[in-house]
């Protein structure tokens, strides 16, 4: 008798350990444990915007088109249920606004999977946990209030367990049109930076270029997208200087461009009095740059031309 009791206790213990092991191996929401794939398209043009598939090796994760506040989306996704629990009800819910192209939120793609009290016009659908795959298409509109200043990961779909716990979800990156413009220009400048390095441009100029890129990223992350774009545009300089003995002449320019970054930051975060002070400092830096340009013209005409271009752009930024 004692042996049977011991065996039963051991079996229960092993079962608990087994379930604990399974629970600890489950990843965080959004990593494909339940929602194994999804595609986001523009329901009007059918343009593919985002594609994610956790079942491929490597995982497919493509962002092909920006998603803005107010965008109409059609998201087709698959929920993979690994085991049946006949009395367990799972729920899918969205926070998106109603679609202006469809009169429903949900369309059932996998007809063989049964839903519970299915109302396609509701923001929520429920189904019993039955082994298999459930595929649905969600139609909705991103609220216009999302991502006013900086990009956000907007939660479009959440899968809830029987106790209201989050099992999985889908998030999409929502950007402003201005931020999308910044990211496009930033990518172009990053590609340009690599080409400058490959072509042997002066290290001092490379340092200047990298500093401006980094400061623009900081400004963009703070929501100062206009200033970040303006900083990137100052990098449009022709005839970049090749490496030479006078490359050190470019190092003071780094300070000038950092001063520009400070100016842009003050535009958004400080009052007019402090702003005027910073502009005065920047004007002094530009006068120093004029002297540097004159000295450089006696050594290397290419460097002088590049410095002149940078100086003119800085003047235009502050209205000199």
Q: Confirm whether 121 is domain-assigned.
A: yes
Is 161 found in the same domain as 201? no
Residues 6+ apart with CB under 8 A from 287: none
Helical axes 272-297 vs 301-318, angle rounded to 10°? 160
Is 153 found in the same domain as 43? yes
- Report how far residue 20's alpha carbon sits from residue 15's, in angstroms, rounded to the nearest whole number: 9
C-alpha neighbours within 13 Å on the C-beta side of residue 236: 10
Phi/psi of residue 106, nearest 5 degrees: -120, 145
Which of 175, 196, 217 is the C-terminal boundary of a domain? 175
Is 182 found in the same domain as 142? no
Res 317: pLDDT: 56
Res 287: pLDDT: 65
Which of 147, 175, 203 is the C-terminal boundary of a domain? 175
Phi/psi of residue 238, nearest 5 degrees: -90, 160
- Report how far residue 230's alpha carbon sits from residue 317's, in angstroms, rounded to the nearest whole number: 8
How many domains does one find in the chain?
A: 2
Is 198 found in the same domain as 85? no
Res 77: pLDDT: 98
| Buried/exposed 51-72: b ≥16 CB within 10 Å, e otherwise | ebebeeeeeeeeeeebbbbebb
pTM of the full structure: 0.59
Measured torsion, CA atoms of residues 176, 182, 185, 186, in degrees rounded to the nearest 10: -120
Q: Confirm whether 49 is domain-assigned.
A: yes
Q: Confirm whether 7 is domain-assigned.
A: no
In which domain, by residue range, is 89 found?
28-175
Closest CA to 312 of 236, 228, 216: 236
User: 3-state SS of the chain?
Assistant: CHHHHHHHHHHHHHHHHHHHHHHHHCCCCCCCCCEEEEEEECCCCCCEEEEEECCCCCCEEEECCCEECCCEEEEEEEEEECCCEEEEEEEEECCCECCCCCCCCEEECCCCCCCECCCCCCCEEEEEECCEEEEEEEEEECCCCCCCCCCEEEEEEEEECCCCCEEEEEEEEEECHHHHHHHHHHHHHHHHHHHHHHCCECHHHHHHHHHHHHHHHHHHHCCCHHHHHHHHHCCCCCCCCECCCCHHHHHHHHHHHHHHHHHHHHHHHCCHHHHHHHHHHHHHHHHHHHHHHHHHHCCCHHHHHHHHHHHHHHHHHHCC
Res 208: pLDDT: 84
pLDDT tens sequence for the chain (320 residues): 555 544 444 444 444 334 343 333 456 787 889 999 999 999 999 999 999 999 999 999 999 988 998 999 999 999 999 999 999 999 999 999 999 999 999 999 998 888 998 999 999 999 999 999 999 999 999 998 887 777 899 999 999 999 999 999 999 999 887 888 888 899 999 999 998 888 888 887 888 888 889 988 888 777 788 888 888 988 876 666 665 544 455 445 545 555 555 555 545 444 444 445 445 655 665 666 666 556 555 555 555 566 566 656 666 655 66
Is 239 found in the same domain as 104? no
31 touches 61 (CB < 8 A): no
CATH number of the domain within which 129 lies: 2.60.40
- 48 forms beta bridges with 41
Q: Confirm whether 56 is domain-assigned.
A: yes
Is 246 found in the same domain as 129? no
Is 98 found in the same domain as 188? no
Q: Confirm whether 120 is domain-assigned.
A: yes
Is 210 found in the same domain as 116? no
Is 182 found in the same domain as 51? no
155 touches 183 (CB < 8 A): no
Is 193 found in the same domain as 96? no
Which of 146, 175, 204 is the C-terminal boundary of a domain? 175
Is 197 found in the same domain as 141? no
The phi-psi region of residue 259 (left if phi > 0; otherwise alpha if psi is between -120 and 50; otherwise beta) is: alpha
Q: Confirm whether 15 is domain-assigned.
A: no
Is 188 found in the same domain as 165? no
Q: Confirm whether 9 is domain-assigned.
A: no
Measured torsion, CA atoms of residues 38, 63, 147, 139, in degrees rounded to the nearest 10: -30
226 touches 272 (CB < 8 A): no
């Amino acid at each position: 008798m004692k042996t049977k009791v011991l065996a039963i206790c051991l079996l229960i213990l092993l079962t608990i350990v087994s379930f604990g092991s399974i629970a600890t191996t489950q990843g965080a929401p959004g990593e494909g444990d339940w929602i194994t794939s999804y595609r986001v398209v523009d329901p009007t043009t059918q343009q593919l915007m985002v594609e994610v598939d956790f079942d491929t090796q490597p995982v497919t994760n493509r962002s092909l088109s920006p998603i803005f506040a107010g965008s109409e989306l059609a998201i087709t996704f698959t929920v993979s249920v690994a085991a049946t629990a006949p009395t367990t009800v799972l729920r899918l819910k969205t926070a998106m606004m109603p679609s202006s192209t469809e009169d429903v939120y949900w369309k059932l793609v996998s007809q063989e999977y049964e839903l519970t009290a299915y109302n396609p016009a509701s923001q929520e659908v429920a189904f019993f946990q039955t082994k298999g795959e459930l595929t649905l298409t969600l139609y909705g509109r991103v609220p216009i209030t999302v991502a006013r200043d900086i990009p956000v990961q907007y939660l479009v779909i959440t899968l809830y367990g029987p106790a209201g716990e989050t099992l999985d979800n889908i998030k999409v990156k929502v950007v402003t049109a201005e931020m999308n413009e910044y990211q496009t220009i930033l990518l172009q400048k990053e590609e340009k930076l690599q080409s400058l390095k490959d072509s042997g441009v002066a290290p001092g100029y490379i340092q200047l270029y990298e500093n401006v890129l980094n400061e623009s990223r900081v400004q963009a992350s703070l929501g100062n997208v206009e200033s970040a774009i303006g900083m990137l545009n100052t990098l449009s300089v022709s005839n970049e200087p090749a490496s030479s003995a006078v490359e050190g002449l470019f190092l003071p320019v780094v300070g000038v461009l950092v001063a520009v970054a400070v100016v842009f930051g003050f535009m958004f975060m400080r009052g007019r009095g402090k702003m005027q002070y910073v502009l005065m400092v920047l004007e002094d830096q530009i006068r120093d740059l004029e002297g540097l340009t004159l000295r450089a013209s006696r050594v290397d005409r290419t460097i002088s031309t590049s410095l002149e271009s940078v100086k003119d752009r800085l003047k235009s930024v502050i209205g000199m």
